[in-house]
Structure 1
Amino acid sequence: MDTQQISAPSRAPSPVRGDATPSSGVVHINSRHTSHFTVVGNHLAQHRELSLLAIGLATHIQSLPAGTKVGIKPLTERFPDSEARIAAALRELEAHGYLKRTRERLPDGRVITRTCSYNQPGSTNTRPVPAPKRRPKPAHPAPAPGPQPAEPPCIPTPTAPKPPPPPLPQPRNPLPQHQHAALTLLTDLHHHTPQLTLTESDVHHLAPAVATWFERGATPTTLRHALTTNLPHPLKCPAKLLRHRLTHLLPPPRVPVHQPTPLQNCDRCDRAFRSPAPGNCRDCGEAGGPPLME
């Protein structure tokens, strides 16, 4: 008599509806996620109007923790796609409600871009996901019973106020030609360096400092070189940078050169003597000639 194989099933299991292997197309081999996963709706994964890059980018953004930078440059550094393609994909997501970018001004004056990612556009039950909280520090051991010394009050350390910027240089002897040359140089500066585009108010505010440079012997070429070389990138405030350079790179004033009194020939004796104007020498003047101008 044959030996019974008890490991073999007595009969084939009944097929479960929906679990049958399809004859063609994709076959899903799924494993249950217990951590590090993101829920993405089919309205995004199977969107008929979004490009594959936009769908993938939206999925990536939804998987990031709150507070992560999702600008064009960070995304370009993360993925091999170009800035133009990523920018176009972000515009797609904005057009279909999966992304919203707004410009906000912070209390300190800086302007930032606030990006909101929507996992289900059009839903009325939306709220921002808070940033993950840091783990609290371990509690200190309970103090021993009995009176405890009082802790000293926490007094903030005073900070010295920021000193005001030095005043702009002013010419000692304002000349119309220096003022005109200063206005021309500042107005024309953006033709040489596009980053240094100034407003009309900036030009008139900085013109006296430029005229001071001209008063001290600087040429337009020298001054333009001092203002346009080694610019920071990106340049946020051209007028502030020019104010700093015009003040801190100002050349010293010209040292007056002593000019000796010119020589003159005496009108009476033809002897040479020093005088600012022609006339007679001292001896001839004392002899009855016209007074000398020495």
Structure 2
Amino acid sequence: MAVDQLSAAPRTSYEPTHPMANPGYGKRSAPDQRPREGRDFSHLPPREAAVASYIDRLPDGSDISVKTLAKWLPYGQCALRTALNRLQAAGHLRRGSECVATDEVMLWVTRTFFSRTARDDDWWAAFARGDAPRETRRPTRSRAFVLLAALGRTAPSLSLSAADCVSLQPLVDEWFERGATEDETLRALTHGLPATVHHAASLVRRRLVDKLPPERFAPRPPTVVLRALECAECRAPGSADALRGGLCGICRGEDTGIAARPPGTVPTDGVRDRMATVRAGLVPRPERTDRARGITRTGDSGTP
């Protein structure tokens, strides 16, 4: 007998991911940002807030060019270009380049720096110099404290008090400094426990001391980071102090005393004089041809 109803095959949910940019390009998150909150971009107009919220949730290295964003957001390229410029004016975004140098390689890469926390021009200038001031935050629980506080979830007999966690925290920090992961530390503390644990804090302390791992990783070579910002309108590079709001003085409409010209144009001052000097020092073509053939004209060697 034929089956009247067939159960539908389960559908595999597919959600495409935002594309990544080529190596060296794409989004780069600014350091020392506040934790993500629901009202991070409430000071922005709705469109700019939506674009900023979307970019904020993308991982570093994501392609946030206008053309790519237009494929993922319900806005055209012109609207997105305007939105990005307004995010820049509000202190959430800067465009520029960054030099990453180690003992083996030095490479300049293009960056689009994004900050969930709005920054003023002075902060971005300090960021470009590599000495951005860190914000004062209220104390948060350390990585070691969180592991100790959650220890009872894996092994109920090792439930610790807040005072125990504070006391044992330096020992766990030493494990992390030697390259141990949370899983490795948790396994060392909870594997092979006795049937009855009379004093959880004492047992954890004993294991942290007795099972302390050796040094695992050699120190990495120092990394030197150099950054340069550029004008969002004409793409001309400049010092961070000169790019107020991400724009150079000419694009801000200020009278800088310098005539506006396309990026990359060579100033004409002194060019003609320099070329005249170069031409005066050149040997005439007939003389160059005669010298190549070994012909000496009368008067060239000083003899009649």
State whether TM-score is above 0.5. no
TM bracket (short chain): under 0.3
Higher helix share: 2
What TM-score comes out, normalization by structure 2 length? 0.26
Instruction: Pick the structure with greater CA Rg.
Output: 1
